[in-house]
Amino acid sequence: MKWIDDVLNKITMYRLVLYYLIFLVAVAVVLGFSGMLPYKPIDLIFSTLVLVVVCWITNEAFSKVFDVPANVESVYITALILALIITPLESSQYASGLPFLMWVSVWAMASKYIVAIRKKHIFNPAAFAMALMAFTIGQSASWWIGTLAMSPFVFLGGLLVVRKISRFDLVISFFAVALATITGLGILNGIDPYTTIRKILLETPLFFFAFIMLTEPLTTPPVRTRRILYGAFVGFLFSPAMHVGSVYSTPELALLAGNVFSYLASPKEKYILKLKEKLQITPGLYDFLFVPDRKLKFQPGQYLEWTLGHRNPDSRGNRRYFTIASSPGEHEVHLGVKFYSDSSSFKKSLIGMGRGAEIVASQCAGDFVLPKDKNKKLVFMAGGVGITPFRSMYKYLLDLNEKRPI
């Protein structure tokens, strides 16, 4: 399994998801050629291209209006998700169906900027757009990706994604509750459990939903216990038999309800930070000192997702996860970064930042924090730049004059 980890370590999570979705579209095209899917390859390609182009144009417009860096990978990911859950247009429907594809693309992108609190979107963009379409114009997602022919490709690729982002706790809690709920309700209605489970696993979008949409980092809780509760909550609502009055549950409604739970359980923040100073500590290692637009809320040892818009980002994208090296008691934010001769375009842009240049940080997360039991003995071991979470922890302890056996 080491070679898998070596490959996964060379690409970012967002790039992996993007490549995985492109792969699924390509597989669908091949299966369309062979007749294993009821969609013509040209129709799949046409619908996908429309969604990608309109999502990209819309996101570019909104990013300029709201003056925030455009995360191109997220745009493509949302567009490809829509392509995999909306039934491809047939050639005879191109003219009549084109407005719908354009409209759903616009709302998917708009939701990230308009339906947001403190510049952080609350809902999964694809789920929000499809739910809005269902309630306003009566057109909903078919989730055609949840077919027997696509299931092995969805499952194997999805496992790589979950392995990369270490979210098996979330996915397992979702699977356990969803399977138990749907099977239990089936038994109450006289349906054989084996038939129910087989149908759930092979003929529904269960795996695609869990691996790709449920695990979206920006709309999931940042700590393990809340993630497990989040997965269980969405899993309970995932059953199509769940309803409020005449409104029955769909995957997108279950996810939107989960997004609300996630926000209430752990409100998301987005910060704009200006560079105050950068100091070279050792050859290749720098300490960046940023001033945030408002005080950061975090626990010592947690990390943030840092987004730095720059021209021509390479395959590793314009986002990185870095541990916060400062204490919650400090107003300024320390960021320790190691640079190599073959650094990414992100790091080259980072080292090239001048005083007053801005970077965006969000998605504070991480369970590598000080234990609540203040009498628990601690041993700190780190190599190189890995000392950053410990700097945050011991500075915090000094700020509070707190004694611990370290």
pLDDT tens sequence across 340-395: 888 888 999 999 999 999 999 988 888 899 999 999 999 999 988 889 999 999 99
In this predicted structure, what is the pLDDT of residue 395?
93
Q: Cα separation of 406 and 74, whole Å? A: 42
Tokens matching residue 67 = 């003056």
Between 264 and 10, whose confidence is greater?
Answer: 264
- In this predicted structure, the answer to whether residue 225 has a pLDDT above a threshold of 60 is yes
**Cβ contact 20:157 at 8 Å:** yes
Half-sphere exposure at residue 210, Cβ-oriented, CA atoms within 13 angstroms: 38
- In this predicted structure, the answer to whether residue 309 has a pLDDT above a threshold of 90 is no
pLDDT tier at 10 (50, 70, 90 boundaries)? low
In this predicted structure, what is the pLDDT of residue 9?
65
Tokens matching residue 95 = 């003219």
Please, what's the largest Cα pairwise distance for the chain?
73
| pLDDT, mean of residues 191-204 | 85
Residues 6+ apart with CB under 8 A from 358: 272, 273, 274, 275
- In this predicted structure, the answer to whether residue 5 has a pLDDT above a threshold of 70 is no
pLDDT tier at 65 (50, 70, 90 boundaries)? confident
| Alpha-carbon distance values, 299 to 261, 263, 332 (Å) | 21, 18, 15
pLDDT tier at 14 (50, 70, 90 boundaries)? confident
Cross-strand bridge partners of residue 292: 273
- In this predicted structure, the answer to whether residue 7 has a pLDDT above a threshold of 60 is no
pLDDT tens sequence across 151-177: 999 999 999 999 988 899 999 999 999
Which amino acid is present at 363?
A: Q
pLDDT tier at 6 (50, 70, 90 boundaries)? low
Which amino acid is present at 229?
A: L
pLDDT tens sequence across 89-137: 998 989 899 999 999 999 999 998 888 777 678 899 999 999 999 999 9
| Alpha-carbon distance values, 8 to 53, 117, 157 (Å) | 28, 32, 12
Q: Cα separation of 166 and 20, whole Å? A: 17
In this predicted structure, what is the pLDDT of residue 116?
78
Q: Cα separation of 174 and 232, whole Å? A: 5
In this predicted structure, what is the pLDDT of residue 363?
82
- Mean of the per-residue pLDDT values of the chain: 90
